[in-house]
Structure 1
C-alpha cells in the first residue's frame, strides 16, 4: 500500500538526483518569489513543516518542504548511503532549482546536512541558513535518547495507529495531554506486506546513524563548514533541548560570531512541533531582514 498526501494549495515536486534517487517535496507560493528550502530532521518527513511552509507561501515566499532521501515519499538509497555528505549533495541539487538563491532551514539532520551544503559542497547556492536545534557539537546522552527511540519497533512495527501514538507519548512525556493526531500518523507510517505499520523511512537510515555517529572527523568537518559560511545564520534552540546545551551554543557562536541565536521557551528538540507559533514568528523576523 502506498499513500500519497498533498497539502491543499501545494504543488507536488519531484527532483531526480544524479545517482537515480528521486526526492519528493511540496511547494507553496509563487515559484518566482524568494525561496525557502525546508529540510526535516532524521526520521521525520516533509509534513513536519506543513504549517510553516504554508505560512511562508502565504507571506510571499516560495517555500519547499522536502522529503530527504530514505524518508517519506522520497526514494530509498540502493547503496544505503545516508551520510551527512550525501544529504548535503541533495540539498545543493534542490537548492539550484530555485529561481532565486533560497534560504535553507534545516532541523537536526537537515541542519547538519545544510552546514556541509553551504560551507563546503555548494557555497553560493543559498543566501542564508536557519538551524533548528542543531549544532556541530551536541549532547551525547541526548543523541542516544533520540536514536534509541528511532531504533524501537524497527522489526515488529505497530499493529495500529493508536499503538504508534502511545510510543510517541512515552517518548515525549512532557507533551502530556497532547495526544498525537491519529489521522495525521498516516503521513508518518507505511503499511508493510504483513499489514503492520512501520515508520515512513528506510530502516537502513537508523542503522547508519548508529554505526557512524558524530565522530571527531565529522565534528571537524562540520566546524570547518560552519566557519566558512559568511551569509546570515540563525540558530534556534529549544530551551529544553536534549541535544543542544549551553556549551553547544557557546561553541557554535565562537566559530560563527556573526550568527544570531534565539532560545524558545517551553520547547525541546522538536521545536516546530512544541512551539510552532513562536518558531514561525522567529523565522518571520529573521527572513524579513533579508
Structure 2
C-alpha cells in the first residue's frame, strides 16, 4: 500500500490528546483523550497485545466538535500496569473507569476491536444500563482471536525479545493475522508498541494477557444498551458468524461490513472505519433504540488514501 502520508493522517496525529491515568483495583490504567471534557463520548478499546495508540488516527476523527473520545490501555498493555491475572471482567471495569476519569459526561459508547470486542461485550453484559451503546469490531464470539490462537500455539507473543534499538524493534512488528496495511499507519503503531528497558527495547504487552478464560456465546443475549457489529470483508468475523451473533442479540443489532478490509480495519481502511463509526454514532445521538429486527449486512463503501 501507499507509503505517502496523507494530510488527514498528519492532521489527526497533530491533534494532541490529553493523557491521564486512573487506578483500578491497585493497577494504574493509562488513557488518551480527544475533544472537550464534560461532553458525551466514546471509549476505544484495542485488541490483544495492542494499545491505545492503535486509535491515534481514528480518535480525532470521532470528536466532531461535540464528543469526548477516550482510548484506553487495558492492564497488561501499552503503558498501563500489569496484573498477576487478567480477566474480561476487570478489563470491563477499566473501560468504565477510563470513561469517568477521562472526562466523558454520562453513559459512554464503548467501541472494541478484536479482543477489545470481547471486553466490550462483557462491559455491555455487566454494565449495560450504564452504557449508551456498544460497538464490536471484527470479534467472532465462539472463536479465539488470531492473537490468542497464535499465542496458545507458540507462534507469536511468547517471551519478549529485546532489540538493540527502537528502529530494529519496529522492523519486527507484525500484525496477527498478517494482512495488507498502510505503511504510515503501521510505522506509527509499531513505534508506540515498544518500551525502553535496561539493555534495549522490548514489546509493551504482557504475554500473560492471553492466559485467561474465553468468552462464550452465552454473553450474546438481549443487552441493556444498543449494540452494533462491524466486520471487515476479509476479516475474521465471517458473514455466517455475524448472522449467528445478530440472531442471538435479538435481531436488533445492525451488522456493517467494511469493504476490502482485513481484521485490523484501522490499519488498512481507517477512513472507512471512521466513517462507519461516525454514521452510527450520529444515528444513535438522534434516534431511539430499536426494539425489532434491522436489516443485516449493511455495506459501507470507502477506501483509505
Q: Which has the higher helix share?
A: 1
* Structure 1 match to 2:242: 249
In structure 2, stretches of 5+ residues that fail to align are 1-12, 285-305
Shift in Å, 1:143: 4.9
Cα displacement string for residues 141-197 of structure 1 (whole angstroms, at most 9, x for unaligned residues):
785247655425x243334444444433586664278377556533110122222x2
* Structure 1 match to 2:199: 194
Q: CA RMSD in A?
A: 2.7
Shift in Å, 1:285: 0.6
* Structure 2 match to 1:279: 273
**Which residue of the other structure, out of 73, 88, 92, is the alignment partner of 2:79?**
73
Structure 2 counterparts to residues 173-188 of structure 1, below 5 A: 174-175=179-180, 178=183, 182=187, 185-188=190-193
Structure 2 counterparts to residues 36-47 of structure 1, below 5 A: 36-47=42-53
Shift in Å, 1:46: 0.5
SS of corresponding position for 1:64: strand
SS of corresponding position for 1:14: strand
Which segment drifts farther, 83-92 or 250-259? 83-92
Structure 2 counterparts to residues 105-116 of structure 1, below 5 A: 105-116=111-122
Q: 1:238 to 1:170 in 2, by over 3 A?
A: closer
2:88 counterpart of 1:84: yes
Shift in Å, 1:89: 2.2
2:17 counterpart of 1:10: yes
In structure 1, stretches of 5+ residues that fail to align are 1-5
TM value normalised by structure 2: 0.78
Q: How many residues align?
A: 268
